[in-house]
Amino acid sequence: MRLVVLLLLSFQVVLPRVGHAASPPWEGSPLLDLVPKDSYVVSFSAPVATIAEKLGLPKLFDRHKALFAEGRAGLVKQVGADLLTVAGWEKLGIDFKRPAAFAYLDANRNQRLAWLAVSDPAALDVAITKNLGADVARRTVGAAIVVAPAFGGVRFILRDGYVGVLTHESDDGVAALDAIADRLANLAAGDALSANEAFKASVPTAGGGHIAIWWDIKALSGLIDQDEAQWKENRETETYADVELREAKNNNAPPDELKRLEDAIAPAHADRDRRFAQEEKAYAFGRRFVTPVEGQLVVMTIGDSAITLQGVARLAPDHVARLLLKPSGTMTLARAMPSAPLGLVEASVDPKVLTQLFKEFVDFTDSRGFEAFQSGMKEALGVELEADVLSLLKGHLGLGFRMGGQSLTTLFAADLVDGAKARAMLDRVVQSPEGKQLLTPAHDGGKQVWQLPWSESPALLQLEGDYVVMSSEAALTDGLAKAGKGAWLSSDSAAAWLLAPGVAAIGASDIGQLFKLFFMSFSGDWKAAPEPLPEGADPKLVKKLDAIRGKKDALEAAKNKENEKLTSDVDAILGTLAVTASPTDAGFVLVGGQSFGTKTVAAAIDGITGILAKRTVAERKHSEALQKLYKEEQTIMEAIYKAAPAP
């Protein structure tokens, strides 16, 4: 049955989106009263049958039967039903025509909970007994029934027309599992999510949709406290100098040796205390981003050609994000991009808050602290980080990545307070001892351009008025510096989200490029070195061997070419994933989604599945052909060694 739960959880993972459906996914169900209000993460799903239909899954499973046949048959054999159909779940007593919920209750015990509607309690009871054994205990808790299989890793709670599937992984045994199962069976109204004020306040802004996900950030922040407490309890306070001195005393070391070791104690303790202080600063820094957050609710809606999302992040007034992010007139880097980026983040920020955050970050990441770090930078580059560099930032920053052939291009852009001061600062860097190695003037006519070392070829840094850009793809630099209108958002439907007024921060990614990058990391031209031949090998046999190895190389080349086509075909189907954040009185409204261009969502999923189905067939044929060649190669190698003269 655990397989059932995992399969259910996988249904919601494929769905990133929100919009304005008429009602939230839990509408018409008791789910808000079945989930504890202190759950870390809760996901609500509209009827799975509805979602599957909108995604075209029933037709997809039938159209690509060969791709799913083996897994389908395995599930039928294991649980007695075809779990890729609504009817299969109904056979187990589960009703996929009503909403469902999934929750992550306790990170320490890895407790997960799924609430599924029940259509036939008797059929469900048979399924539990069949899959988990006849040794099943049942007890009544309030108006609910708790079903406890003998193996102890799962509990089923039957109440209000739903079954709760609770899994638990912890060393504290079944007692803790039974305790939470009993709590769920008789959950008091005040302890349910329906009583969580932050959640209730988020619902009107997030709106309705097919999938809703709630993060209780306050509950999650407790994990930081636990981690820090554990670190303090287990950290090693004894230094190496303490150990050396103790051992020297035990071995009756001479006085001068003891004096030397005693003198080393104070510096060692100072270094230890400095490291401890840095670690405590790191925890405090991280807590600033988490603790003043009430929660975050995101709702996703499956439309015709996009999966859209809308949500709300409820933050305390002093939260870092509310102090840092400010509404922007336009997202300059996004607007100037010539094509969809692999990844892009752009934001309008308060430069004073950004400077303070950067100083705090350096304080706990650099053992010397910010002031010493800044002094070292001035000595090396001739400029002061805060006064000469950070003070130039006006508040608009962008960072992007795109695939340029087989290489990754990095892009950076920023608005400046004073471009002339920036030019003077860069000139000072060029004249400094280490700056000469970092920046090389490459001015072209009226263009203010500098080269800086990069991975394969120099990147270009260009000033255009009060705007600076950096690109590791030189051909892009001038266009980005002029902050003109690039081709990307003139034709991508994600522009409606990314260029909306009042947005403070955006994030975007061409999922197709991500797929290609991921696929490239597992493919390539690598091959094992051929097995060496003995001296005096028969030339005729060697010729045959070379022919077979040539066929193997050709087979691998054909496979790589086919894989390149596959990634390009998938890239053509997948569109842009985008998310934006706009400030409100309570925090931020989140808007965005995954667009599929002119294709419907169902057609896009079907197209990708078809491509993967073809690849599965091609991989099998390639493997069979390669195995045949390996056997032929091995046969000839054996003949070569057999015919070779004795050494």
Judged against a pLDDT cut of 90, whether residue 33 lies above it is answered with: yes
- Cβ-count burial 298-310 (b if 16+ within 10 Å, e if not): bbbbbbebbbbbb
Judged against a pLDDT cut of 50, whether residue 1 lies above it is answered with: no
Q: Is 70 left (phi over 0), alpha (psi -120 to 50) or beta?
A: alpha
DSSP codes, 116-142: EEBS-HHHHHHHHHHHH-S-EEEEEET
Q: Are 435 and 382 in contact (CB under 8 A)?
A: yes
Model pLDDT for residues 340-386, shown as the tens digit of each residue: 899 999 999 999 999 999 999 998 888 788 999 999 999 999 999 99
CA proximity to 94, closest of 28, 33, 162, 155: 162
Model pLDDT for residues 281-318, shown as the tens digit of each residue: 888 888 778 776 778 889 999 988 889 999 999 888 88
CA proximity to 586, closest of 64, 152, 200, 73: 200
Q: 């046999």: which residue's tokens? A: 541
DSSP-based three-state secondary structure for 366: coil
Residue 326, H or E segment: none
> pLDDT grade, residue 17 (50/70/90)?
very low
Q: What is the pLDDT of residue 258?
A: 92
CA–CA separation, 570 and 284 (whole Å): 43
> pLDDT grade, residue 323 (50/70/90)?
very high
Bridge partners, residue 101, by sequence? 44, 115
Q: Which of 432-436, 514-518, 547-551, 559-563 has the highest mean pLDDT?
A: 547-551
Q: Is 604 left (phi over 0), alpha (psi -120 to 50) or beta?
A: alpha
Q: What is the pLDDT of residue 527?
A: 65
Q: What is the pLDDT of residue 389?
A: 93
CA–CA separation, 331 and 338 (whole Å): 14
CA–CA separation, 163 and 303 (whole Å): 30
Q: What is the pLDDT of residue 20?
A: 44
Judged against a pLDDT cut of 60, whether residue 35 lies above it is answered with: yes
Give percent of the chain above pLDDT 70: 93
CA–CA separation, 36 and 39 (whole Å): 6
Model pLDDT for residues 49-77, shown as the tens digit of each residue: 999 999 999 999 989 988 888 889 998 98
Q: Is 274 left (phi over 0), alpha (psi -120 to 50) or beta?
A: alpha
- Domains of the chain, earliest start first: 1-294 (no CATH), 317-491 (no CATH), 511-643 (1.10.287)
Mean pLDDT of the chain: 86
CA–CA separation, 10 and 220 (whole Å): 22
> Mean pLDDT across the stretch 481-486?
77
Compute the Cα dihedral for 252, 255, 256, 259 and give only its sign: positive
CA–CA separation, 528 and 526 (whole Å): 7
CA proximity to 118, closest of 149, 144, 82, 154: 144
Q: Are 419 and 463 in contact (CB under 8 A)?
A: yes
